[in-house]
A and B are shown apart, each in its own frame.
Chain A
Amino acid sequence: MSVEVRIPTILRPYTDGVKIVEAQGDSLAAVITDLDTRYTGIGERLVEEGSLRRFINVYLNDEDVRFLGGIDTPVADGDSVTILPAVAGG
């Protein structure tokens, strides 16, 4: 399964500035693991104790994965994953 992953500005230092990368996997968790093998450290910025970090939003196509299956959401060939840090504060 090959998916396209859109990387936000703040994580582009991990991808040498590249905005859209390809990744393999049949679930979001597998996709993140695959990303981390090539862009070491990016996984930790997305995942904490096996779950997506609270202030990182990940979308599968048009849907926030929190409303799907979270980090276990299945992905299919040709899907698009978008990562966006929350815009939040106090």
Chain B
Amino acid sequence: MLRIGQDLLDAVVAHARADHPDEACGVIAGAEGSDEPSRFVPMINAARSPTFYEFDSRDLLALYRDMDARGEEPIVIYHSHTATQAYPSRTDVAYASEPQAHYLLVSTRESGREPGPAEIRSYRIVEGAVVEEEVQIVASPGR
């Protein structure tokens, strides 16, 4: 199960809408071993594509160094699908490389850049096996 703050989820959806029709991507980092996503880090999709995403290689190194320095790991790795459902594609499964992370998918196919329904689903992807998990939304701190 993924427990995630409403504010973080809202930030992911806003990023997905802003980049539609290209795929948006990023991570939500959190303290190593905590399983608590806390720091929203939107990334640039270096592929700038409606069907593919990839973190820029320099940005990737900077991100991992920053997380290392903060004692963090990627708790959530998110990306959007802009024309299909929020289910991992074959390439998503092939390249998934953080077995401890929650892979969060958002589909903007319904409403695109406009406010409206956005399908949000979460998965574990370990050694080629996809397991969907429940998303439990918690109130944002301070609200």
Instruction: Decide if B54 touches A88 in the complex (CB within 8 Å).
Output: yes
Asked if A36 CB lies within 8 Å of chain B CBs, one says no
For chain A, give the interface size range: 10 to 19
Instruction: Decide if B77 touches A87 in the complex (CB within 8 Å).
Output: yes
Q: How far is A48 from B51 in the complex, measured between Cα atoms in Å?
A: 25
Instruction: Decide if B51 touches A90 in the complex (CB within 8 Å).
Output: yes
Number of contacts between A and B (CB, 8 Å)? 67
B107 smallest CB distance to A (angstroms) = 13
Asked if A84 CB lies within 8 Å of chain B CBs, one says yes
For chain B, give the interface size range: 20 to 34
B residues contacting A by CB (< 8 A) are 25, 27, 43, 47, 51-55, 57-58, 60-61, 64, 73, 77, 79, 88-92, 94-100
Can you list 29 A-B contacts with CB-CB less than 8 angstroms, sorted by A residue number?
A9-B98, A10-B98, A55-B95, A57-B61, A59-B61, A64-B57, A64-B58, A66-B57, A82-B64, A85-B95, A86-B57, A87-B25, A87-B43, A87-B54, A87-B55, A87-B60, A87-B77, A87-B95, A87-B98, A88-B91, A88-B95, A89-B52, A89-B88, A89-B89, A89-B95, A90-B51, A90-B52, A90-B90, A90-B92
4 nearest A-B pairs in the assembled complex, by CB-CB distance: A85-B97, A90-B91, A89-B92, A88-B54
